[in-house]
Amino acid sequence: MKKRYILLSLAVLLAGCQPKPLPQEQLTRHDAEINAIIAQLSLEEKVEMLHSKTNMSSEGVPRLNIQDIKYCDGPFGIREEGVPNGFMSAGWTTDSATYFPTGSALAATWSEDLAYQYGIGMGTEARRRGKDIILGPAVNIQRLPVGGRTYEYLSEDPVLAAMLGTSYVKGVQDAGTAACIKHFALNNQEMNRGSVNVVCDERTMREIYLKPFEVMVRKGGAMAVMPAYNKVNGDYCSENEHLLNEILRGEWGFKGMTVSDWGGTHSTMGAALHGLDVQMTGDTYLGPALIDSVKAGKVPESVVDDKVREILRVRFAVEAIPEDKCNLETASTPESRATAYEVARRSVVLLKNEGNILPIKKEVKKIAVIGRNATALTQSGGMGAGVKAPYEITPLQGLLNRAPEGVEINYAPAYKDYLGMFARWRGPQFLEEHPEIAAEINAPADPAMLAEAVALAADADLVLYFIGTNKYIETEGSDRTDIDLPLCQNIIAEALTDVNPNVIGVVISGGPCDLSTVEPILPGLVQGWWNGLEGGNALADILFGNIAPSGKLPFTFPVKLADSPAYALDNYPQKAEVEGDLFGNLYRQDVKGQKRAPMGPAHYASTAYYSEGPLVGYRWFDTKSVPVLYAFGHGLSYVPFSYADMKANKASYGADDVIKVKFRLGNQGSMPAEEVAQLYVHRVDGQVSWPVKELKAFRRVALAAGETKTVTLEIPVSELRYWDEAANDWALEHGTIELLLGSASDDIRQTVTVKI
Ligand code: BGC
């Protein structure tokens, strides 16, 4: 009896010690059942699953009652329903959804918790819309300040992007939906995105550009991956053996499905043999031509079976929602809207606060709100995914909602809407052919509008001047041609400051703007992002001082565009002609059953040389000692924070250790506030070439007025490894490193030196 009891306890103990299956392994739970299904399918049935059925679905197995897979954009709200064969609105009334702050705003929170809640919100609303896979998060590294999709992406730093992306994926998948992480990989520019060949060394790829994807696959358990439009080192991402088969499946153990970007499949043999499961959209390659290739013995049927297996793993992991159980009312839930607010309030970055001009003082009774961006909607516009939100609180509406009694708010737009939609996307030739649009972009300030704004400013105690871009200027399918403030915003700033010294600039944009003209003349500057349907309320709460700002920049604001690495090294823009966007040219006619549009000259392909190597963003500016306007990680508060007593738990670490850094963080002000503590490493005696510093850990900490907390940050030593090209593996360099703790990459407060 006693012996049996001991054996039983031992078994229980051992079972407890069994490592939990890795996130990717969990996808294989139903493989036996799935293999039995595959054995029953005809080649035709299998291939039917490998391409689009409609613009946003792919076929299941109707005969066996296996449901179609339904996709949706992603990434900052569930996109409105499109017609079956395209993106035109289907005209539904039940397809509105929460408009969450876009990627750069989410990243500015530096909060894994919020990224998780954001994912839960997205996943839940996708379920309510009957969708199985969210095409997101989008996590490409922001290599170029002009990048058209900077607003969707998270950061120029791989650790920040990886940690937030992973929490987002977990949230989406815990809510029962699959995340399709995108765009894999090195899709860091929109210019010629459909054909550009990115030439990048392996070390840079592994340490910078692939890092977020690796963590989202390995730790986040992402169930789907979207190969990008571009080529990497010569091969399209949708048929890139190295990326899809060797790295993603081989090294990272990915067990889910790959879905090409829309119009991003280029051949039957390439896609079939080198890692693509589903062609979106159309059936040109993974349709009848694939059946022929199998029959001709060019593609083994087992390759088709592998693809079907990967798709069915996702189908088994995500419950299909019956049509009568979804789309009954708006997808937007009160919980998601609350999350959108929480993200927005923690994303707003206080860039500059001379003389503590913010928060708005009690004495301020008359506020002039100037600038069309105070009222412009950001939920959709331009090219690419947007959201049909049930409402959107604009900055002006937020200020009106939150203004204390007795405060008068007056508004003047000062500059017009930017109507040159897609003009930049269509390129310089288009502008030549459409002088009216070119004239509009370059028009001088409208005298009547300027006069109205100046008069309001002169008569106000305080001016809130809304500047920045909009969804037509920053848009998918094209990069900005510069990062200048558009629409005469600099000239208007000068006119406003001539009549009122108290002008605060609020930048509404997804990416960085050149603020070098307004920065010296405006005492206050705030980065307000495209901040979701509650953005206006969150912004107003910060401006009025109901809460302290706590956002931190997820990318650098350079002094001028020419300082940034790809420009400084003359690697961007590439000198090839722009022939319009692949997606824009194709999608309307590339859905099954329709004719394929002509590709245009396939030879406009350009090459993007990533010769700056890993020196992207602050890694470049720091290492090359190039001054910046606002550094990575920068963001002020209304209170001062103290950093003290920084200690590492050991003096010397081995390869399997975790560095634990403890310190005291204090709020020295008189209101509650949150600080994002950031831990960087600097290699003191590195023989391998390293950037001056690299972010390795961070934590958002909430502190009551006057409160001090002990905070611990951890860096697994394995995260200090570099990619050794000769060994084709990760390697650890031994030596001395300095741990740099601070409030921003250029505001290091404490350091400790340790040995590895
Ligand atoms: C974009 C993807 C998007 C897809 C479907 C493509 O043009 O690059 O991010 O998910 O369209 O809308």
What number is the average pLDDT over the span 572-601? 53
Which sequence spans correspond to the domains of the chain? 2-73+110-325, 340-555, 635-755
Q: Is 261 in the pocket of ligand 1 (CB under 6 A)?
A: yes
Q: Tell me the pLDDT tens digit for each residue of 273-310.
A: 999 999 999 999 999 999 999 999 999 999 999 999 99
pLDDT of residue 577: 55
pLDDT of residue 594: 46
What number is the average pLDDT over the span 76-104? 96
Q: Which tops the pLDDT comparison, 437 or 565? A: 565
Backbone angles phi, psi at 423, to 5 degrees: -60, -45
- Interacting residues of 233 by C-beta distance below 8 A, sequence separation 6+: 197, 198, 199, 200, 242
Q: Which tops the pLDDT comparison, 518 or 15? A: 518
pLDDT of residue 441: 67
DSSP characters for 91-153? --SS--------HHHHHHTT-HHHHHHHHHHHHHHHHHTT-SEE---B------TT-TTTTTS
Alpha-carbon span 529 to 507, nearest angstrom: 7
Q: Which amino acid is at 168?
A: Y
Alpha-carbon span 275 to 257, nearest angstrom: 9
What number is the average pLDDT over the span 536-553? 98
Which homologous superfamily does the CATH classification assign to the domain defined by 2-73+110-325? Glycoside hydrolase, family 3, N-terminal domain (3.20.20.300)
CA of 185 to the centre of ligand 1 (A): 14
Backbone angles phi, psi at 279, to 5 degrees: -85, 120
635-755 — its CATH code?
2.60.40.10
* Mean pLDDT, rounded, of the chain: 93
Residue 13 has pLDDT above 80, yes or no: no
Measured CA distances, 151 to 211, 443, 555 (Å): 20, 26, 11
DSSP characters for 625-676? T--EEE-TT--B-SS-EEEEEEEES-SB--TT-EEEEEEEEEE-SSS-EEEE
Residue 1 has pLDDT above 70, yes or no: no
pLDDT tier, 579 (very low <50, low <70, confident <90, very high otherwise): low
pLDDT tier, 668 (very low <50, low <70, confident <90, very high otherwise): very high
pLDDT of residue 3: 54
Quote the tokens at residue 688: 């391998």
Alpha-carbon span 125 to 491, nearest angstrom: 43
Q: Tell me the pLDDT tens digit for each residue of 30-84.
A: 999 999 999 999 999 999 999 999 999 999 999 999 999 999 998 999 999 999 9
- Can you tell me which residue has the tokens 């500016």? 621
What number is the average pLDDT over the span 468-481? 89
Alpha-carbon span 531 to 393, nearest angstrom: 9
What number is the average pLDDT over the span 425-452? 75
pLDDT tier, 595 (very low <50, low <70, confident <90, very high otherwise): very low
Assign 38 to helix, strand or coil. Answer: helix
pLDDT of residue 435: 76
Instruction: Annotate 540-565 with b (16+ C-beta within 10 A) or e (fewer).
Output: bbbbbbebbbbbbbbbbbbbebebbb
Q: Is 190 in the pocket of ligand 1 (CB under 6 A)?
A: no
Inter-residue contact 417 to 373 (CB < 8 Å)? no
Q: Is 182 in the pocket of ligand 1 (CB under 6 A)?
A: yes
pLDDT of residue 428: 58
The least confident of 67-81, 96-110, 313-327, 582-596 is 582-596
Quote the tokens at residue 17: 């010690």
What number is the average pLDDT over the span 218-234? 97
Q: Is 583 in the pocket of ligand 1 (CB under 6 A)?
A: yes
Residue 712 has pLDDT above 70, yes or no: yes
Quote the tokens at residue 243: 């990326």
Inter-residue contact 351 to 630 (CB < 8 Å)? yes
Quote the tokens at residue 323: 């049509």
- Fold designation for 340-555: Rossmann fold (3.40.50)
Alpha-carbon span 120 to 171, nearest angstrom: 4
Element (H, E) at 336: helix 334-347
Share of the chain above pLDDT 70, in %: 91
Q: Which tops the pLDDT comparison, 431 or 566? A: 566
Alpha-carbon span 615 to 622, nearest angstrom: 9
pLDDT of residue 600: 45
**Shortest CA distance to 641 belongs to which of 674, 614, 595?**
674
Residue 584 has pLDDT above 80, yes or no: no
Catalytic residue among 95, 261, 622, 746: 261
Assign 702 to helix, strand or coil. Answer: strand
What number is the average pLDDT over the span 688-706? 98
pLDDT of residue 9: 52
- Interacting residues of 690 by C-beta distance below 8 A, sequence separation 6+: 683, 722
What number is the average pLDDT over the span 654-675? 98
Ligand 1 pocket test target in 140, 476, 479, 581 with most atoms within 8 Å of CB: 476
Residue 591 has pLDDT above 70, yes or no: no
Residue 139 has pLDDT above 70, yes or no: yes
Quote the tokens at residue 251: 């090294």
Instruction: Annotate 152-177 with b (16+ C-beta within 10 A) or e (fewer).
Output: bbbbbbbbbbbbbbbbbbbbbbebeb
Alpha-carbon span 106 to 702, nearest angstrom: 17
Residue 20 has pLDDT above 80, yes or no: no
Nearest-CA residue for ligand 1 atom 4 is 262
Element (H, E) at 495: helix 489-499
Q: Is 73 in the pocket of ligand 1 (CB under 6 A)?
A: yes
Inter-residue contact 151 to 103 (CB < 8 Å)? yes
pLDDT of residue 83: 95
Alpha-carbon span 617 to 138, nearest angstrom: 18
pLDDT of residue 398: 98
Q: Tell me the pLDDT tens digit for each residue of 184-223.
A: 999 999 988 999 999 999 999 999 999 999 999 999 999 9
DSSP characters for 571-584? -SS-SSPP---HHH
Q: Would you call 721 exposed, middle or buried from its count of C-beta atoms within 10 A (0-12, 13-18, 19+)?
A: middle
Residue 431 has pLDDT above 70, yes or no: no
Ligand 1 pocket test target in 56, 79, 85, 135 with most atoms within 8 Å of CB: 135
Assess whether 261 carries a catalytic annotation: yes
Alpha-carbon span 159 to 179, nearest angstrom: 19
Q: Is 262 in the pocket of ligand 1 (CB under 6 A)?
A: yes
Please state the separation of Cα 587 from the chain's center in Å.
23
- Can you tell me which residue has the tokens 């649009």? 437
